[in-house]
Amino acid sequence: MHVLRPPLTDYLRYECEWGYTYNVRAGEDVRILDLSQAPPGTEVLADVGDFFLVDGEHAIRMNYSASGDFDGAVPVGPEVADCFRVLAHTSWQLATPFETWWGEHPQYQRSNWTP
């Protein structure tokens, strides 16, 4: 699941076209929560930052520098992990399957993109 806000950066376009497209074809259920199309108030989900849920139970927060470089991952305690589980569930319910979202946004696809 990816929460994003258009316009897409070059890296996000690459990630969609060369990552998610093939992952979905291989059977992964990837979803996009496009904040430009989401209900009001949903933008707070982007402020939470990047995190992973392992086995739906353990939350790990990803840390990045101001320039966007990955600085490491930090497990969070069980009391905070509950919050991340709720956020993940809510985001998933609001998100659109990747193939649907990608099909609705041809402007980001390499074949239609002009710098």
pLDDT for position 36:
92
- Give the pLDDT confidence score for residue 69 in this predicted structure: 87
Query: How many separate domains does the chain show?
Result: 1
- Looking at residue 115, what is its pLDDT? 61
Q: Which domain holds residue 82?
A: 2-112
> pTM for the full model?
0.84
* Across 84-104, average pLDDT: 95
Using only C-alpha atoms, the chain has a radius of gyration, in whole angstroms, of 15
pLDDT in tens, 15-60: 999 999 999 999 999 999 999 999 998 888 888 889 999 998 899 9
For the chain, what is the mean pLDDT?
Answer: 91
Alpha helices in 1-115 (DSSP H): 10-14, 21-25, 44-48, 78-94, 98-103
